Amino acid sequence: MTTPRTGGAQGYLRIAAEEAFTTPELVAAFRDELAAPDVDPGFRSLIGFYLDHPAERPRFIARALNDLGENRIADMDARGIDRQILALTAPATNVMRDVERATMVAQTANDRLADAISRYPTRFSGMAACAPQAPKLAAREIERAVTRLGLNAVVINSHILGEYLDNPKFQEVLEAAEALDAPIYIHPNTPPANMIGPMLEAGLDGAIFGFGVETGMHALRLITSGVFDRYPKLQVIIGHMGEALPFWLYRLDYMHQAGVAAGRYEFMKPLKKGKVSNYLRENFHITNSGVAWEEAVKFTQRVIGEDRVLYAMDYPYQCPVEEVATLDAMDMSLETKRKFFQTNAERLFKIS
Ligand code: 1DF
Ligand code: MN
């Protein structure tokens, strides 16, 4: 295979929708959190590894996360990526018990991101960070980031100190996102302390599996708790081929209907749109981050619709140079590939 080029000669631009960066303020806060008593076990496993492990991959990742300039652009050129949609790297502010500091880290990250976008307006777009543990301030920061900084989406790294966005305490965050027409990307986090035990023991707590289990459950909780009946215009993006939810969908619909009909759980009320799958098809977009696999892309397009499946690379965590050539070669019409790589992202993130 030849090296993929940027510029769109293949009939579409390649926009990568889940690309990570960090800031000095976030790294400092991570270090302080790691040194604090009772550190979250998933956070220690994940960030303890990436900040300090001497192996080649974590050292490459730490360097790449810190660069919003020429080195990142060169990596994008080498991989055929025209534009990155940037998000503050996981778990960002979600683990911070110092709420004021978490809010400040999100604000400075948004300012730094807006600055990078102004330097490379054709190569970078971005999502707003926020600290949902201070919901009013988070809502205000989302508004500032969307209306003043031009960040047309929000990233939230799944559970917030063990709590989920269906909790009514976070309603201002969901309201702000819906009112501003800003999709929320629920990016993975490691499972919380009360969920992680057997996964951590087996080395399955991180991106290999635990991320997907935790984040897929978060998305499902939003559906089954009725969040989208309360915020019908809210759009949520999930990565990693929908954290496997498309593959579960038949059984989710069946068992959800059975549970609702029996009145088995207080939490699980009847939903306006009935089935779980109706919400996945109307309130979600899915990226293929980390899953450069033709069969899975096509299955997801068939199950939730080709207007809702987007390309993402997950730079710098998973960024092999040959990836886009594999996806360019998918047996798929040019029209559908263009939606996947370019136009779905342009619409969702309001890129013109
Ligand atoms: C990893 C993967 C880490 C993803 C990430 O953020 C991340 C990893 C700390 O491989 O440990 O965003 N990912 O989305 O797959
Ligand atoms: Mn990621």
- The amino acid at residue 252 is L
pTM comes to 0.98
pLDDT tens across the length of the chain (352 residues): 567 899 999 999 999 999 999 999 999 999 999 999 999 999 999 999 999 999 999 999 999 999 999 999 999 999 999 999 999 999 999 999 999 999 999 999 999 999 999 999 999 999 999 999 999 999 999 999 999 999 999 999 999 999 999 999 999 999 999 999 999 999 999 999 999 999 999 999 999 999 999 999 999 999 999 999 999 999 999 999 999 999 999 999 999 999 999 999 999 989 999 999 999 999 999 999 999 999 999 999 999 999 999 999 999 999 999 999 999 999 999 999 999 999 999 999 999 8
What is the distance in A from the centroid of ligand 1 to the CA of 38? 23
> Which residues, at least 6 apart from 128, have a Cβ–Cβ distance to it below 8 Å?
106, 110, 141, 142, 145, 146, 149, 151, 153, 154, 155, 182
- Pick the ligand that lies closest to the CA of residue 62: 1
What is the distance in A from the centroid of ligand 1 to the CA of 189? 8
Give the span between the Cα atoms of 60 and 280, in whole angstroms. 35
Whether the Cβ atoms of residue 128 and residue 142 lie closer than 8 Å to each other: yes
User: Among 84, 211, 218, 243, which residue has the most ligand 1 atoms within 8 Å of its CB, making it the best to mutate?
Assistant: 211
Judged by phi (left if over 0) then psi (alpha if -120 to 50, else beta), residue 23 lies in beta
Whether the Cβ atoms of residue 234 and residue 177 lie closer than 8 Å to each other: yes
Give the other-Cβ count within 10 Å of 38's Cβ: 7
- Pick the ligand that lies closest to the CA of residue 65: 1
The pLDDT value recorded for residue 4 is 84
CB 313 near ligand 1, within 6 Å: no
CB 91 near ligand 1, within 6 Å: no
User: Among 189, 317, 319, 323, which residue has the most ligand 1 atoms within 8 Å of its CB, making it the best to mutate?
Assistant: 317
Dig out the tokens for 27 from the structure: 């790294």
CB 188 near ligand 1, within 6 Å: yes
CB 166 near ligand 1, within 6 Å: no
The pLDDT value recorded for residue 1 is 53
- Kindly provide the residue ranges of all beta strands, DSSP E only, lying in 194-330, ordered along the sequence: 236-238, 284-287, 309-310
Give the span between the Cα atoms of 188 and 157, in whole angstroms. 5
Element (H, E) at 41: helix 41-52
CB 62 near ligand 1, within 6 Å: no
Give the other-Cβ count within 10 Å of 309's Cβ: 26
Whether the Cβ atoms of residue 79 and residue 313 lie closer than 8 Å to each other: yes
CB 317 near ligand 1, within 6 Å: yes
Closest C-alpha among 69, 72, 70 to residue 61: 72
- Lateral strand order in the sheet of 15-21: 15-21, 83-88, 124-126
**Protein residue with least CA distance to atom 14, ligand 1:** 314
User: Collapsing DSSP states into helix, strand and coil, what is residue 243?
Assistant: helix
Residue 62: burial class (beta carbons within 10 Å; 0-12, 13-18, 19+): middle
Closest C-alpha among 351, 221, 334, 339 to residue 286: 339
User: Collapsing DSSP states into helix, strand and coil, what is residue 264?
Assistant: coil
